[in-house]
Amino acid sequence: MNVKVLFFANLRETLGVASDTVRLPPGIDTAGALRDMIAARGEPWSALVTTKNLRVAVNQQMVGPDAPVKAGDEVAFFPPVTGG
C-alpha cells in the first residue's frame, strides 16, 4: 500500500526532496501516523514533528492528523506560509 507524499516551502528545502513514495506498513492509517513514521527516519526528517503549525492535506483537502490515509492517496505536508 503506497501513498505519494509531497513536501512544500521551507520543509522541502530542509528535506532536500519535493516528494516521496511511501509504503504504508500495517497500523499506519492516518496522516499523523504517517508523519510520525517519516519523522522517525531521523534528521532531517524529524522536521516533520518539530515544525510548528505543520499543515497536512490528503488528496488536496486540508485535514487534521486523525484523517485516514489509504493506498493511492496523495498526502502533502507544509509549514504555514505568508505572502502578499
| pLDDT per residue as tens, the chain (84 positions) | 899 999 999 999 999 999 999 999 999 999 999 999 999 999 999 999 999 999 999 999 999 999 999 999 999 999 987 665
Residue 80's pLDDT is 84
Whether 72 is covered by a domain: the verdict is: yes
Our count of domains for the chain comes to 1
CB 60, CB 74: distance < 8 Å:
yes
Whether 14 is covered by a domain: the verdict is: yes
Residue 1's pLDDT is 84
Range of the domain at 27: 2-78
Which CATH number do you get for residue 11? 3.10.20.30
Whether 83 is covered by a domain: the verdict is: no
Whether 84 is covered by a domain: the verdict is: no
Whether 25 is covered by a domain: the verdict is: yes
Residues, the chain: 84
